[in-house]
């Protein structure tokens, strides 16, 4: 039985990014993303992208350059995150890196004056200029980041904007923006969200003179699960992803929005926004499918369409009312 009243539910709770993942016209300032879906999943510059069993696996694949980022990879990452967001067959994403020595050594400074560097150093508003991470691309599906080896500078985009971070004991975290005369800003703000302020500033201001070991990152909350070896870390991440893929896509998307949104609000305001998202889900088919599948002892058949709605039914009469809705 659904809750008794849905009149006046907000189409989109104020201040939250649009959760209806399938409609490009709801993303102000962004072009129609359907045109940016990767034409092929091979041949992406410095990256690998594959989908298997509802899990998208994104791999930074420049081990000979420490998996450093290039301007060409920026556009490719935007296309990949668009595919993750728009493809209903994808339920969860895992981002990893080739090899065990480096997760990502940040932006490749050798590429700073390349012809396509404007792709990265674009003097435009944030929403029009930066598309490395799932958060920057408004991806509300679960994202797990696997850190094996050293993570530097721009590599932290993927760490701080992931939902769950898994690492191996050989991982370490360092920020070198100030060493090369750059401002440690976007990734560092994310670090300050996940770490105590002093720890984030220590990384930011000491630059290459300080590496945070995986164990310390785990103790402080930057890493959520710490495994002994890279292979164990990757296996753990895939196991988590497989478990998440069994859940309602829309329930996960709205739950993720509620939790991430709470980081930008006071407690009361965050509760109000979360309540609006909860009510929004009442009209989605998964709201009824979950309890029905549980009662029938079968696997649920989730509807991946965030815009799907169940047909309205007669609401339950409140105390003091007849079944027809009038006062007794």
Helix axes 186-194, 197-206, angle to 10 degrees: 150
Q: Are the beta carbons of 22 and 34 closer than 8 angstroms?
A: no
Give the pLDDT of residue 116: 67
pLDDT confidence band for 44 (50 / 70 / 90): confident
Q: Are the beta carbons of 250 and 286 closer than 8 angstroms?
A: yes
CA–CA separation, 128 vs 115, rounded Å?
19
pLDDT confidence band for 117 (50 / 70 / 90): low
The arithmetic mean of pLDDT across residues 136-140, rounded, is: 96
Q: Is the pLDDT of residue 316 over 50?
A: no
Q: CA neighbours within 13 Å on the CB side: how many for 108?
A: 21
Distance of CA 209 to the CA centre of its chain: 30
Phi-psi region of 79 (alpha: psi -120 to 50; beta: other; left: phi over 0): alpha
CA–CA separation, 93 vs 104, rounded Å?
18
Counted residue by residue, the chain has a size of 328
pLDDT confidence band for 110 (50 / 70 / 90): confident
- Helix H or strand E encompassing 236: helix 230-244
147 vs 124, more confident: 147
Phi, psi of 98 (to 5 degrees): -75, 140
CA–CA separation, 127 vs 27, rounded Å?
10
CA–CA separation, 275 vs 282, rounded Å?
11
Give the pLDDT of residue 313: 61
Q: Which of 156, 145, 260, 169 is nearest to 203 (CA)?
A: 156
Instruction: Name the residue ranges covered by the structural domains of the chain.
Output: 24-244, 249-295
Percentage of residues of the chain with pLDDT beyond 70: 80
Give the pLDDT of residue 41: 58
Summarised one tens digit per residue, pLDDT across range 171-208 is 999 999 999 899 999 999 999 999 999 999 999 999 99
Give the pLDDT of residue 23: 34
Q: Are the beta carbons of 103 and 155 closer than 8 angstroms?
A: yes
User: What CATH code would you report for 24-244?
Assistant: 3.90.226.10
The pTM for the full model equals 0.81
Q: Are the beta carbons of 90 and 84 closer than 8 angstroms?
A: yes
């Amino acid at each position: 039985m659904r809750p008794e009243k849905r009149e006046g539910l907000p189409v989109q709770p104020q201040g939250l990014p649009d959760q209806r993942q399938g409609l490009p016209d709801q993303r102000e300032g962004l072009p129609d993303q359907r045109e940016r879906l990767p034409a092929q999943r091979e041949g992406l510059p410095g990256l690998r992208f594959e989908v298997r069993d509802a899990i998208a696996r994104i791999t930074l694949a420049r081990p000979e350059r420490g998996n450093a980022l290039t301007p060409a990879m920026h556009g490719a990452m935007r296309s990949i995150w668009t595919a993750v967001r728009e493809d209903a067959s994808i339920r969860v994403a895992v981002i990893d890196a080739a090899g065990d020595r480096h997760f990502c050594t940040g932006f490749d400074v050798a590429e700073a004056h390349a012809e396509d560097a404007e792709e990265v150093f674009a003097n435009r508003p944030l929403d029009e200029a930066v598309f490395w991470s799932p958060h920057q691309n408004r991806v509300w599906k679960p994202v797990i980041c696997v850190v094996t080896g050293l993570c530097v500078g721009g590599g932290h985009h993927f760490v701080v904007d992931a939902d769950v971070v898994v690492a191996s004991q050989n991982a370490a975290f360092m920020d070198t923006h100030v060493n090369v005369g750059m401002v440690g800003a976007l990734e560092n703000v994310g670090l300050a969200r996940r770490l105590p302020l002093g720890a984030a500033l220590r990384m930011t201001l000491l630059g290459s003179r300080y590496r945070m070991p995986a164990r310390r990152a785990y103790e402080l909350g930057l890493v959520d699960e710490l495994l002994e070896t890279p292979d164990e870390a990757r296996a753990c991440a895939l196991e988590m992803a497989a478990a998440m893929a069994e859940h309602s896509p829309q329930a996960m998307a709205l739950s993720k929005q509620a939790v991430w949104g709470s980081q930008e609000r006071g407690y009361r305001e965050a509760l109000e926004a979360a309540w609006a998202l909860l009510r929004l889900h009442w009209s989605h088919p998964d709201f009824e499918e979950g309890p029905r599948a549980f009662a029938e002892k079968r696997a649920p058949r989730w509807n991946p369409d965030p815009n799907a709605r169940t047909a309205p039914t007669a609401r339950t009469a409140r105390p003091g009312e007849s079944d027809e809705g009038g006062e007794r």
